[in-house]
Amino acid sequence: MIQSANASEATPNFQLKKLNNALYNNIRFVVASTLCSFIANIALAEDVIELDTITVSAKKDNDTKPVQGYNAKKSSASTRTDTELRDTPQSITVIPQDLIQDQSIQSISQAVQYVPGVQAAQGEGNRDALIFRGNATTGDFFLDGLRDDVQTYRDFYNIDRLEVLKGPNGMAFGRGGAGGAINRVSKQAGWTPISELTASYGAYNQKRITGDYGQAFNDEIAFRVNAVYENSDSYRDGVNLERFGVTPTVTIRPDENTKIIVGMEYFKDKRVADRGVPSVNGPGNSTLKNRPYKIGDYDTFFGNAHLSPTETETVAFNASIEHAFDNGISVKNSTRYANYNKYYQNVFARNSVTNVGTVQFGAYLDETDRENIINQTDLTYNAKTGSVEHKLLFGMELAKQDTTSKRFQPTVGSTNIATVVSASNPYLPSASFSALATNRKSDVSVAAFYLQDQIIFSPKWQAIVGLRNDNFDTDFTNLLDNTEIKVSDNLLSPRAGLIFKPVEAISIYTNYSVSYVPRAGDQLTSLTPSNASFKPEKFINYEVGAKWDVNPSLALTAAVYKLERENVLVADPSNPGANSILVDGQETKGIELGVSGDITDKWSVFGGVTFQKGEITETQANTTAANVIAKGAELAQTPDRTLSLWNKYEINDMWAVALGVVSTSDRYAQLPTVSQSTILPGYTRYDAAVFGKFSEKLRLQLNIENITNKEYALFSHTNNNITPGSPITGRATLIYNF
């Protein structure tokens, strides 16, 4: 039955509801009137009641310098997701911007001096070279997670921080990343203004200036530009460098879920390739080993500095886009195009100083052109299955790398120069580079797919499991005789880690990972390849460790590891400049301890200690008797002990001081054989710094290296390419924020 509106208003229920509404409105009017009257009386009262002002503030995140102090909290290098370092089951050391500035770091080799488990190598004076847990590399360098592997020197003018990963990283980086990897995190444009000019002048006519300027155009677009110019001499006679670089970047945030970064870099590095000093002859037995020749005579150049130029030009373009969808899915796509053009020529000591005080030289000229284009896509999704949380990662990498290289020597068959020179005046006035010894081309294509799951079972238990498949195709052509070798590798790199957290601030972990290093690119520029030598190297790492955030600003780490390496390609000791041999295997075992952060609000520390033993696991009989590498032979440039500790203390708001120590035990210059086993003696070196902050805009610091003027061998490339350490030296740096 349908009733009219008037009929419904006549019902008892409707009349009661109308009465209640009227009563409610009357009560509300009375309360409001009373409250207004009360407020008015207070306002008109002779004695006014004043309440204290409460200010609520929070420190704004600095998006142009995301890491403050010596202790970084997060990294995405190992897991490809933004993860707490404490909850990453791997040894990782992050060198933040504050430490880079305080130590006046200007090179990779300087940066790793205070990193446990990593040593710098000479790299023939023309490239960055590192030793991770007994494994040498010139190719495991990355920029914002993308490969940057040409053999050259890298600068820090456009770098916010350096992430040093130890152990195989095949899951995160694919090929390489075997003994370890270096990931440079670039400075990005943000909405925190930056305007900084840094100028330094040091001993041996070291001159350098850098600029860092960034601003926001509006709420959606910000830009930043970094630049460097350096023109410096060296404590080594005739050695100098000149470099110039500029990197503009733009960040776009069209909405809170999207971030776009585009940038480019032009960088040119010119210097003298310095291969140091040779060793001096000594009996090849366990009681008396060969030693570096006159390390105390640190400035003598063996060969000819004017005939040893090296130059690298880099042109690179980078772009990335990130977007977080409302359904919990996030996508990041990154692209890097880089063109590298490198030239280097060198004259160097080719053998030991003989018993009659003579030395023989070698010479060659290399030209390399490389073009890289890399595209990576990462898709992450957070999910729950019951009480278990998952952070899923699906990824793909597509890459193409084309390399051409030529080598010119005195003769086609050898770098040897017949002229014998006195070691007391080791100068060679001329050398021939007329014989084309190698002319090669390699085209590499990579298609990789990976899957990873970071699992939280409970507040005490976490895990990470992942698998990456790399399809790696190499097309190598010897342009001298047009022979061609084509190799296709299908590489599976697994990773598994388990984390136990007895309390939130402590993580105890175990980790297993595998990586492969195919034969391509840099590894084929100087050694003679064959079908057998194209078999990839394999690296297997077992690691157990603990990480403890003592407080929000101080972290302690510990790790015990075993790293196995199979199918190792090394320089043939009988002809290290031209041929290679396969080594059945090697193994490194060690313990690493690290510390970073603030012990008090005035005392900051950074450093660690490593105890390790690296050795060959099988006798290598595929070379001449004098050059046999015996089972148990110690790995090159792998000291049994290293120790480093940097301390900075703030005396007051204006002044601060720092003291650092770097110490290492004896190590071999090259993989020892029956006939040659040059030892680099252990040493302890002390560094210091003084900091003055004269205003919010002006700072001045003085860094002193080797304050006790210790004579020592810094690093080597072979038995006869040994770099003497610098005598006491200083550098003053002025930092002005305008």
Q: Is residue 200 within 8 Å of residue 208, measured between CB atoms?
A: yes
Stated length of the chain: 738
What is the tens place of the pLDDT at every residue in 255-310?
999 999 999 999 999 999 999 999 987 544 444 568 899 888 899 999 999 999 99
Residue ranges of the alpha helices (H) in 252-397?
A: none
What is the tens place of the pLDDT at every residue in 661-718?
999 999 999 888 766 778 999 999 999 999 999 999 999 999 999 999 999 999 999 8
Q: How confident is the model at residue 583 (pLDDT cuts 50, 70, 90)?
A: low
Q: Is residue 259 within 8 Å of residue 251, measured between CB atoms?
A: yes
- Res. 343: pLDDT tops 90: yes
Per-residue confidence (pLDDT) for residue 624, from 0 to 100: 59
Q: In this structure, which CATH number among 3.10.105.10, 2.130.10.10, 3.40.50.12780, 2.40.170.20 belongs to the domain 74-737?
A: 2.40.170.20
Q: How confident is the model at residue 587 (pLDDT cuts 50, 70, 90)?
A: very high
Per-residue confidence (pLDDT) for residue 322, from 0 to 100: 97
Nearest Cα residue to 210 out of 194, 222, 233: 194
Nearest Cα residue to 359 out of 300, 433, 422: 422
Nearest Cα residue to 618 out of 666, 590, 669, 581: 581
Nearest Cα residue to 163 out of 180, 138, 188: 180
Q: How confident is the model at residue 56 (pLDDT cuts 50, 70, 90)?
A: very low
What is the tens place of the pLDDT at every residue in 505-519?
999 999 999 998 886
Domain map (residue ranges) of the chain: 5-43, 74-737
CB-neighbour burial class of residue 563 (10 A; exposed 0-12, middle 13-18, buried 19+): buried
Please give the sequence-ordered ranges of beta strands (E in DSSP) within 666-728, or none if there are none.
Answer: 667-668, 679-680, 683-693, 698-705, 713-718, 721-724
C-alpha 515 chain-centroid distance: 18
Q: What is the CA radius of gyration of the chain?
A: 31
Per-residue confidence (pLDDT) for residue 37, from 0 to 100: 46
What is the tens place of the pLDDT at every residue in 632-657?
889 999 999 999 999 999 999 999 99
Per-residue confidence (pLDDT) for residue 726, from 0 to 100: 96
